[in-house]
Structure 1
Amino acid sequence: MGENFRLVILCSEDRSDLFFANKLAERFDPVGIFVESQRADPSAEPALQKYLRLAKAPHQIPWKIFNRIAEQTWRKNALYNRSEYKTDFGEAGRRILEADKQNVIYTTGASRINAPEYIEVLREMRPDLVVVCGASILRDEFLSVPRFGVLNLHGGLSQRYRGLFTTEWAVYNAEPEYVGGTVHFVTSGIDDGQIVYQGRPLIEANDTPNTLYEKVVHLGVEMMGAAIVDIRDDRLAAVELQQPGALYTNSMFTPHVLKETWRQYERGVIRDYCENKHKLDLPVIRGLINEFAAPSNLPKTSGRTELN
């Protein structure tokens, strides 16, 4: 295949996903990049309908206002919103770099990537492979277009955590040993396709939920790059996921869960793991599928603030 290999990248507008797209575009010269908007159409529920819904329960209005103000105040002062704790993917996480030299398609509306007009654009690209990070659930019409299928970077170990915010859930559940990433083929299910690579980042005592996520993304880009080369060079060896892990949906990650995740960090759950990692890692390592050897040049957290 070699030089004629046609790659398409699909990502969301999130910083980590743009970083994913930019880093792979630097290396593989894709024939197209889709940037998917996942913001709901503001016209989906007209303002009048919202007012009518609230008018049916006027006693709820003061409580809703109080909750919103309280939540905004907490978020403003929360640890994860302080500059020293925020995720940082640099300029590559802000926009598609050199967009004028790339074939970039920006979709509009949540889940519109499955719309016929975008499927037709994808067909015209004649992709051998599509690689994905942060996209909506893809329908069969999309999945059937690329010759070798669609690969996804999932930010968790699929035999333990599927769905969204899986790094945070691992911290919330006091098992940071399960922080990791999976490159897998996309199916009609959620994070349950054949696994190409799995990897775990180096976890340090001064890591936070956000730095762990950064590390997973950096590792995931390396894993996806290796997977693309394997498919291009016809040496791929994917393995079935025999027992999918628990599924964590967007609605499950409530403000309460976010708060508790960072409280777990403040209680020292990551530091405690580091003190016992040799014992805690054993069952995780045994269960890894197609383990990826992380390169030594991945980012570390030296210089980050550590809570006492």
Structure 2
Amino acid sequence: MDKLEINKQDGDLLKIAVLCGDSAQHAYLIEQLSQYFSIVGVVIETDNAQMKKLWGKKRYRLWLYRHYHSIKRKWNGDALARRKFFQESNLSKASTEEIPTLMPECVNAPIVATTLREWQADIIISSGVMFIGKKVRNASAPIINLHTGVLPYYKGNQCIFFAMYNNEFDKIGTTLHLVTDKLDGGDVISIAKPEVLANDNDEALYAKSAKSGISRLIEVLNVLNSQGQIELSKQDDAGKMYSHMDRTPWVDMKYYFKKKFDINKSSLFNSAIRDN
């Protein structure tokens, strides 16, 4: 089994840089990390910046589906539910004057790699940003990503939803893995799974998975802080890559009626929970 090792002075707190989005769970992530470690800086790639990047690259279909999901989440109350779950609606509390904060046009902007080198973090945490390019990956320290989905089975986006859609409740959770040149393909550090209740929807399980993943991350970082190394596991080629474009209005409608009329749902759920 491989290991991730870092060099730091004994007795010093782990120095962490964060690459994240601007959603409620990212504010919670920063707030939690700041209680235990030294955050040397935060790079925030906002949702608006990501959408502008997609439009600029002429990825209009993906832009449209992300816009569709954003409107739908506001309309059905999921966006508000997540803010209430994490008790934070933006990064104003987390991004204080004590934490240097950079808000670039995208996570791969040249200034990001330059700034990471200046911050000299022991480890970098990523969550909710677009694919991290080579220059940022190689700029400073190893990067640990919080992927909301169980790798290697569910890669990409909308992983919690599609695990539910496929009745694979045992594959709902958050995976901590190293960032490499392969999307969601780096070595796995740990997988955290939340308690799954029969009445949970995909938004509830996303929020619970994200929170359990952050708790597991702090446990892992405490080991790294005290021992200077953590164990890694190679991924195999199982699983599938999902995109926002895979969750079409037709898929949403099918899932709605599947939940409403599927008489086997309860038995499938109970079986999955027992197997987990």
Where does residue 94 of structure 1 map in the other structure?
90
Provide the secondary structure at the position in 2 that maps to 1:32.
Answer: strand
8 Å CA contact retained: 1:209, 1:262: no
Which residue number corresponds to residue 41 of structure 1?
A: 52
1:22 maps to which of 28, 31, 45: 31
What is the alpha-carbon distance in structure 2 between the residues aligned to residue 261 and residue 191 of structure 1? 26
Q: Percent identity?
A: 19
Q: Which position in structure 2 is the counterpart of 1:291?
A: none
CA distance in 1, matches of 2:52, 2:269: 44
Per-residue deviation at 1:227? 1.9
Corresponding residue for residue 149 of structure 2: 156
TM-score by length of 2: 0.79
Equivalent in the alignment of 1:192 = 185
The 1:270/1:23 distance shift into structure 2, 3 A limit, reads farther
Q: Does 1:165 align with 2:158?
A: yes
Structure 2 unaligned residues grouped into runs of 5+: 1-7, 57-67
Structure number with larger C-alpha Rg:
1
Deviates more, 1:208-217 or 1:2-11: 2-11
Change in Cα spacing, 1:199 to 1:96, as seen in structure 2 (3 Å) is same
Distance 1:16 1:43 in 2: 22
Q: For residues 89 and 224 of structure 1, what CA distance do their matches in structure 2 show?
A: 19
Pick the aligned partner of 2:209 from 204, 216, 229. Answer: 216
The structure whose RCO (Cα within 8 Å, separation 6+) is larger is: 2
Aligned to 1:107: 103
Q: For 2:97 and 2:267, locate their aligned partners in 1 and report how far apart those are by CA, in whole Å.
A: 47
Which 10-residue stretch deviates more, 227-236 or 237-246?
227-236
1:10 aligns with 2:19: yes
- Counterpart CA distance in 1 for 2:148 and 2:53 is 29
Retained in 2: the 8 A contact 1:37–1:107? Answer: yes
Compute the displacement of 1:276 (Å). Answer: 2.3
SS in 2 for 1:103: coil
CA displacement 1:178-214 (0-9 Å, x = unmatched): 1111100000111111111012211112212111111
Deviation digits for residues 248-295 of structure 1, max 9, x if unmatched? 12322223333334444434676444432355x2xxx5xxxxxxxxxx
1:124 & 1:102 partners in 2: Cα distance?
A: 16
Equivalent-residue separation in structure 2 for 1:21 and 1:133 (angstroms): 11
**Relative to structure 1, is the Cα distance of residues 207 and 238 closer, same or farther in structure 2, using a 3 angstrom cutoff?**
same
Q: Distance in 1 between matches of 2:153 and 2:54?
A: 38
Q: Distance in 2 between matches of 1:105 and 1:244?
A: 37
Q: Which residue of 2 aligns with 1:256?
A: 250
Q: Do the aligned residues in 2 keep the contact of 1:35 with 1:104 (CA within 8 Å)?
A: no
Q: 1:81 aligns with which of 77, 81, 85?
A: 77
Using structure 1 for the length normalisation, give the TM-score. Answer: 0.71
C-alpha contact (below 8 Å) 1:33/1:102 kept by paired residues: no
Q: How many residues align?
A: 251
What is the root-mean-square deviation of aligned Cα atoms in Å?
Answer: 3.0
Higher share of residues assigned strand:
2
